[in-house]
Amino acid sequence: MRFVRILVALVLTTTLAAQQPASAEPGLGWKAAWSAAPQRPGTNFTPNWSEQGFAGQTLRQVVRTTVSGAAVRIRLTNVYGTAPVTVSAATVARSSTGGAVKTGSLRRLTSGRAASFTIPAGAELVSDPVALPVSALERLTVTLHFAKPTGPATYHAQAMAASFRAEGNHVADQGSAAFTESSVSWYYLSGVDVLGASRGRDGVALFGDSLTDGYGSTPGADNRYPDELAERLVAARRPRAVLNQGIGGNRLTVDSAWLGDKATARFDRDVLGRSGVGTVIVLLGVNDIGMSVARQPMAAPHTEVSAAEIIAAHRELIRRAHTKGLRVIGGTIPPMKGSRYYTPLSEAKRDEVNAWIRRTGEYDAVADFDRALASPAAEDQLDPAYDSGDHLHPSDAGYRAMADAVGLADLG
């Protein structure tokens, strides 16, 4: 680590002087350590601030990195914005409790060495490097001030963690007193990269819907299945980046203004475009099946999707990942009997898709979430010990069981 810190000092000096990527330094590289899949502003399962955006306010957001590094840089996205968004001031710090940050850890965020910067419409911006060493599983707080109205905000709906809002400019506050409002979504924040010793593309992207996003887990506790997998890797002394690229309600084959672009459309951006990723675990299809039965306004348009269409979409993801040299693991769809998605027809579709995932060998490996979560008494139902209560989404214990179902050797 001492060697890495010496190198990072040289890299940061060179980068800020020449404005060249820090990854140009031999032996060091930037890797995604946390990320969230962006969504269009809109109504979702819980109230959020995406449609109104921000004006004269400060937004404070907390995330947890999955690998360590000697420096960080922050990714901000305006991919669904129709106008540029100006960040008047920004900071990054180690998190304390709630909206507070740890004393002495606050660092100014800049872009092009400017304290105020603009995220173009339809684009992502990467901040300048910040010399803030972070550890695996450490929480960071990113604070953004918007002096001028932003308009509707690109966001991630189901953060399963609190974000905080204050009136005025409070980017330098160490305490949380000014942050009197909260939301359970992330806004504009799409990634945290860390700089460390390069070990090639060993990052793992978990690509999915609410079962990956973590719906049903305890908010603020980092008990989603990607969190549990990252913790398992650290405990095994095999830490690597684990990126949660789930979107609640997402489908393989159907776009939704509220539930995200279909998985085949967002795969390049949310998986292939993430730095350092060498493996992807795909867990998708339950919403294509279930929303063919249970209609809801957010799912519009209503579309009947067959098992064959779901399998074809899986094959497309496999092909595209292999073309880019990624290893691809297929996740079987967990039980759903008793949920609003269940009918004999939907169960038959689930069985057909799962049989294809398990038996054809088209995936490089299989994570059998279905068998890991099934009740011993009824294999088409979630084990009551793993059920969050809606018979579809796992509890904290269920998400731990999902992480345990991933073979660490299968990650490559």
- Percent of the chain topping pLDDT 90: 87
Q: Tell me, what's the pLDDT at 1? A: 44
Instruction: Report angle CA 158, 92, 146 to the nearest 5 degrees.
Output: 70
- 267, part of any domain: yes
Closest CA to 396 of 347, 404, 310: 404
Write out pLDDT tens, residues 90-120: 999 999 999 999 999 999 999 999 999 999 9
How many domains is the chain built from?
Answer: 2
Which of 146, 165, 191 lies at the terminal end of a domain, its last residue? Answer: 191
- 20, part of any domain: no
Report the mean per-residue pLDDT for the chain: 93
Q: Has residue 142 got a pLDDT over 70?
A: yes
Which of 159, 191, 223 lies at the terminal end of a domain, its last residue? Answer: 191
- 349, part of any domain: yes
Which of 170, 191, 212 lies at the terminal end of a domain, its last residue? Answer: 191
Range of the domain at 228: 199-411
The answer on 397 and 251 residing in a single domain is yes
The answer on 137 and 56 residing in a single domain is yes
Write out pLDDT tens, residues 225-279: 999 999 999 999 999 999 999 999 999 999 999 999 999 999 999 999 998 999 9
Mean per-residue pLDDT, 7-28: 44
Q: Tell me, what's the pLDDT at 4? A: 43
How far is 308 from 319, CA to CA, in rounded Å?
Answer: 16
Model confidence band, residue 23 (pLDDT cutoffs 50, 70, 90): very low
Domain of 292, CATH number, reads: 3.40.50.1110
Closest CA to 39 of 145, 152, 192: 152
- 15, part of any domain: no
- 7, part of any domain: no
- 49, part of any domain: yes
Mean per-residue pLDDT, 138-163: 98
The answer on 373 and 290 residing in a single domain is yes
How far is 340 from 286, CA to CA, in rounded Å?
Answer: 12
How far is 389 from 396, CA to CA, in rounded Å?
Answer: 12
- 3, part of any domain: no
The answer on 139 and 53 residing in a single domain is yes
The answer on 330 and 219 residing in a single domain is yes
The answer on 286 and 177 residing in a single domain is no
Q: Has residue 71 got a pLDDT over 90?
A: yes
The answer on 119 and 218 residing in a single domain is no
Q: Has residue 8 got a pLDDT over 90?
A: no
The answer on 267 and 160 residing in a single domain is no
Please state the pTM of the whole predicted model.
0.93
Write out pLDDT tens, residues 305-356: 999 999 999 999 999 999 999 999 999 999 999 999 999 999 999 999 999 9
CA R_g for the chain: 21
The answer on 244 and 318 residing in a single domain is yes
The answer on 187 and 241 residing in a single domain is no
The answer on 209 and 178 residing in a single domain is no
Q: Tell me, what's the pLDDT at 27? A: 66
Mean per-residue pLDDT, 180-186: 98
Q: Tell me, what's the pLDDT at 16? A: 40
The answer on 182 and 89 residing in a single domain is yes
- 42, part of any domain: yes
